[in-house]
Amino acid sequence: MQVPSSSDEDSDPGEFSDNGSQHSTSGGPGSVGSASLAPNNGRRVSSTPSVSSLGAQLTAGSNGSRRQSVTGAAGSVTVNIGGGGGSGSIGGMGGGGVSGIGGVGVMASVSPPDLSITSASEDDKEEKRKELLQMYVFVLRCIAYPFNATHPSDIPRRYIKVTRTNLETIRQRFMSFLNGETQIVADEAFILSVESYCDIFLSSDRVTNLVKSGGCSSHDLRELFRNSIEKRVRCLPDVEGVSRETVISSWLAKYDAIYRGDEDPRRSNARMNAANMEMYLSKDHLYDLFQGIMDVPKYEHQILYNACQLDNSDEQAAQIRRELDALRHAIENNTLPQLEFTKNEMKLRYKEERWNAYKQLKENLEKLPLSKVNPDHKPKKGGHIINASMLMNEDSESTLTKSDTALTFSLEVIIHEVQGIGFLQPHKIVYCTMEVEGGEKLRTDAALADKPKWRTQGDFKTNQPLPVLKIKLYTENSSLISLDDKELGRLVLYPNSNWLETPENHTMTPKHHQNSSDKIKIKIGVKMDKPQGMKKCGYLYCMGQSHWKKWKKRFFVLIQVSQYTFALCSFHTKKSDPQEMIQVDGYTVDYTDSPPDENCKSENKAELFHFKGVKEGDWISFAASDENDRQLWIQKLYQATGQTHKPIPHNSVSISVNSGRPIDRSRARNHGMEDFVQANPLDFDHNQLFSQLQSLSLEKRLNDNYTSLGWLSPGQKFLLDEFCARYGVRTCYRHLCYINELLSYADKGQMIDATLIQYSYLHCTSHFKNSGSVTITTQEKEMLDEINSKLQAWLTKNITNFWNYYPFGKPDGALKATVQLFEKLKMDDGRKTENQQKEFAAEMKKLMEIAALENYTSLSSCVQGTGGGNGTDYEKKLEEVIVLAESCRDLLRMTEEYYDDIWSKFPGLLNYHSEVLWSLFSVDMDDAIKAQPEDTWNCFMLFQLLNDYLKNEPNLRNGKFHKHLRLLFAPKVIRYIDLMESSIALSININFQKETWIPVEGGNAASEDLLYKLGKLQQFVSYLSWPDEVFGKHLTQRISLMAADMIGSCVKRTSDFFEAKLKRGRRNIDYLVPAEICVAINVVVSCLSQLKELCGDEIDGGQHHYHADVETYLNNTLVMFRNQLIEKLNAAIETVLSKLSNYDEGTITASIFSWMKPGNELATNYIKSIGRNLKILSEKIIHENFMMPLFGCWYEKILYLINEWLTDRLDVSLHPYQISTISLLMQGLHEYFEGVGVKEADIKCHLYHSINTHIQIEQGSNRDSDKYDNAVIDAST
């Protein structure tokens, strides 16, 4: 590294090495006799340290030996630090010294080492900047004149990327909606959908990770919401007049409103428009794009833009021809950069590849229409026609014909006015005619001689580069004898395409008989358009060896026949075909100061400016009348020949020839950019340059505001395609670098689309398979091996972590592409044999096993510590396992929902993943179950949770884990039922001993407790839904039998209490049914009503005999209760009838009791007793199924006893008191029993009619007795 002197500000200082290596720095011209290190680029150094201070600094930082050599132009200074002492050692160096070499005894000033390190880093930065600018020049040329790449037609739509900040904002907006802080009106169904969306998706850590990876777009979040609401809407009931599609559209509109928040919709539309601007691949867009990608300042871009003449399509086409010519020479001379190939025979093949690439480039250039040369040029009808058959042929040079150089010119002539015709009378009429020789004649309008102004335009078409334009001035002849108008003057012009459009005055030639002193001037403007293929025209002196052999001034036209073919033609006046012509390919144009001959002079002896064209075996010498014209001709011919040598004038005088280009070149030179513009592309490793360019493009793409997943934008891809084709970048190397870059970003957590990697990888593998016909470098072979290793690791990681890397199946198709790429990687030969498929299936099975482990580990880490804080350790452990089971269940459900279409290609793979996941879970489950104390039953919640899921999954039902679950919980279920049976039996005894027979719901406390426990036990077995049919039936039968036993025991105790209680009651008219009797009845009826539910309807095709016995027993018990209660209640009516028997006719007591004049108290008391008992029974017995039959039987039994009593007295007459009492009883019974709901038909039965008939007969026989009749009437009233 050179050491800059104090006056050299553009060099970098020397650098110290920390590993003891020697760094040699050499000074500039001013370093003779002294050595110094000056700071570079104005670095701030307060003072130059001495060697002793430098040695102290270095000794303090290292114990090794260091040496720095500063070499000047005439001597050197060596500084030894920490090593052996040298001559002229300096104290404080720790044994080091400074020795002068070459008689130089001046102490050197050395810069500090930290500045040297900084200088080295800045040197690297400067080199990178220069390399970047050089690459930018190549990029600019590709943008300015592309001729290989095609614009993509299938441009994908880009969506806005969701960042972490955006995600948090979105969450806040949705929470604001759920909290009612927005003005969006929504129904309950939509609110529930939003709540579910927030809980499942927006709050998911997996979505957060997707956002961090840059793979989540606003479109993805919207699609997740759409999928969720579509499932919900399908479950909603149909609403007449509103379709499900309408509901979904309405909900999506509300979602967009929530997502957008208070943001103006126009801003989001503007962002989407900005995202799709890349569809329009204009040059300005590409310039701005790559200026940002390569971080080139605007002023540097403008300098390079002007210096490269990017707005000049001719110069860009010429640059391509020069590059192709240099490439051809390099191929022919075997001077191409040598690459190291895997096989020696590939070297010759590589030369063939480059030659074919060269021919392809040349052919692509030839295929471009000439309008590509000047995109702003609008060809007119009948313009220059290109010979389409003139394509490049490498074997034989194409021969041009005169028809290939045919041109069509448009000539516009505008006649403004005429001066100098004052000799005519003012009222005379004048007009002009114009014609191109060989064409039609045009005439202006008539004008008065005192105002001869027209501004009339005439348009002509001609195929002559040097046409003859004739203009004549006439005045109308008023003589009747002469028929022709009088010609006043004429003008002949020889226009060409170099003429300016500015109107000029020309002197017309008068008629020979006209006074010559009258000078007629005409002001006309002539414009002759350049045809599309004409690049330059003008007069030149010329002489050549085989063409134009005589020194003569000729009119030359440079014509572009095709993109790669130019012809230089000389034309005569009024001729459309060239007199002579050459094809300029192969010529080298350059400046010269001497003419080819002493006699080669101009016609007027004026100074000429010479230049020449040289070709092997031929030469042509040209001369222009001025320097500016010479430079223009040389520039155009330089662009046309495609020569690599750039013509440079011999003197330093530079005349502006093309809109200030020398000034632009001067600016580029002043900024140190001239070398970038003039650099030969063959001097650079374009593979390496392209690798950097592609890396920068990908970095820009991944860091913009839109999701790309590694896909380059259409503009980037277009430019990179053009760069590769133009500068010979190896396609395989391009794809290998691209894969390498993508994998590097993927390792950093960036979301990369596997489809993109697959495209490039398949191209590379296809290239390597055809190694017999293509070339493969050792670098490419090493890169592919490295990529295979990295790619397999990346794919394995993605597949095994698909749950986290591709949450909810997003991005769309990413996981599917990953699996496909993994399959391609494993089956690299492209053939899918049966063995390969089996091996790949086994490989996928291993990956899914790892995936299950990864998923379960992730779920376990999330669930750990979620157990309640107040419970014991085993309770917390069980709670964590239950939460973990729910998480596993949800994971598998979502896996089936979002990934089933991907894994369906591999039958049983998803099922295997599920079984492995549950097998991992079973370990924690077993530990948690074992940790539970004996006879604790909270674990049944876990069984129910898992069994409900597994029994509804066809692939997991009765699987390995399901069987393990049954085996684990079957003993616990049996133990639980055994304990429950003992507990219930014990509770029956205890509860009935303590029973107070207070009504509780449908029975008493003991019965309700029994039925509740039996119901819960029955519900427990039902909810278990035991998967094993045999064991499930066994559990059901056992619960049914146990329920029958327990209910029978309960009813037995109730029956005993009923009988005992009923016996303790008194038998009189005022007897009231005790409430305990009603409670006992309710207990039995309640047990009977729940018997079928608790014991089951049918077992093994018919009712179980034990169940039938219990039901019969309960029914018999109720019948017994009814009979005993009626018997107890009828004791009162028997007492009443017994008292009425005292009034029987013919008895001793009849006269006694009749003398006592009895009233209606007996009947009234009994009827009141009937009413009170009916009320008690109606209120206390809550089961109508027992109560109504009881009332009916009771009523019927009363009538039966009365009728029996009357039947026994058919032979005797009834006492009036007996008649009145029976009548009152019948009326009271009718009234009260009808009031409690006994049907009228049951009340007025045959016994009722029989009794009434008997009473009516008896009343008729006793009408003679007024007293008793009145008594009867009064009693009836």
Mean pLDDT, residues 122-137 taken together: 89
Q: What is the pLDDT of residues 585-633, one digit of tens each?
A: 889 999 998 888 777 877 776 788 999 999 888 899 999 999 999 999 9
Q: Is the pLDDT of residue 1274 over 70?
A: no
Share of the chain above pLDDT 70, in %: 80
962 versus 101: which is more confidently predicted? Answer: 962
Mean pLDDT over each residue of the chain, to the nearest integer: 80
Q: State residue 392's pLDDT score.
A: 36
pLDDT band at 119 (very low <50, low <70, confident <90, very high): low
Question: If you ran DSSP here, which 8-state letter would residue 202 be given?
Answer: I
Residue owning tokens 């005192």: 450
Nearest alpha carbon to residue 319 among 591, 689, 643, 637: 643
Q: CB–CB of 1086/1151 below 8 Å?
A: no
pLDDT band at 280 (very low <50, low <70, confident <90, very high): low
Mean pLDDT, residues 792-811 taken together: 90
Q: Is the pLDDT of residue 1104 over 80?
A: no
Q: What is the pLDDT of residues 471-487, one digit of tens each?
A: 999 998 876 565 678 88
Tell me the one-letter amino acid at 15.
E
Give Cα separations from 991 to 488, 1040, 1117 (angstroms).
147, 22, 21
Cα 468 to Cα 487: distance, rounded to the nearest angstrom: 19
Nearest alpha carbon to residue 738 among 749, 721, 722: 721
Long-range contacts of 103-108 (CB under 8 A, 24+ apart): 103/75, 104/33, 104/34, 104/35, 104/72, 104/74, 104/75, 104/76, 104/77, 106/33, 106/34, 106/35, 107/50, 107/51, 107/77, 108/34, 108/35, 108/36, 108/37, 108/51, 108/70, 108/77, 108/79
Q: What is the pLDDT of residues 225-248, one digit of tens each?
A: 999 998 888 877 777 778 888 999
436 versus 104: which is more confidently predicted? Answer: 436
Long-range contacts of 5-12 (CB under 8 A, 24+ apart): 5/29, 5/30, 5/31, 5/36, 5/38, 6/30, 6/36, 6/38, 8/38, 9/40, 9/41, 9/42, 10/41, 11/40, 12/40, 12/119, 12/120, 12/122, 12/123, 12/126
Q: State residue 516's pLDDT score.
A: 58
Cα 634 to Cα 149: distance, rounded to the nearest angstrom: 31
Question: If you ran DSSP here, which 8-state letter would residue 1143 be given?
Answer: G
Q: What is the pLDDT of residues 910-927, one digit of tens each?
A: 889 999 999 999 999 999
Q: Is the pLDDT of residue 1262 over 90?
A: no
Q: What is the pLDDT of residues 1009-1061, one digit of tens each?
A: 999 999 888 888 888 888 888 888 888 888 888 888 899 999 999 999 999 98
Strands (E), 942-1071: none
Decide: helix, strand or coil at residue 79.
strand
Helix, strand, coil shares of the chain, percent, nearest 5, are 55, 10, 35
pLDDT band at 721 (very low <50, low <70, confident <90, very high): very high
Q: Is the pLDDT of residue 423 over 90?
A: no
pLDDT band at 77 (very low <50, low <70, confident <90, very high): very low
Q: Which of 9-13, 200-204, 1116-1120 has the lowest mean pLDDT?
A: 9-13
Q: Is the pLDDT of residue 89 over 50?
A: no
Share of the chain above pLDDT 90, in %: 31
Mean pLDDT, residues 1106-1130 taken together: 85
Q: State residue 71's pLDDT score.
A: 34
Q: What is the dihedral of CA 919, 924, 927, 933, to 10 degrees?
A: -120
**Strand-strand pairing, 609-615 and 552-562:** unpaired
Report which secondary-structure segment, H or E, holds 488. strand 486-493
- DSSP state letters, 1056-1076: HHHHHHHHTS--STT----HH
1242 versus 49: which is more confidently predicted? Answer: 1242
Nearest alpha carbon to residue 15 among 33, 31, 35, 37: 37
- DSSP state letters, 231-254: HHHHHSPPBTTB-HHHHHHHHHHH
Q: Where are the alpha helices (DSSP H) in 707-812?
A: 714-727, 731-747, 754-769, 778-800, 802-805
Cα 4 to Cα 40: distance, rounded to the nearest angstrom: 8
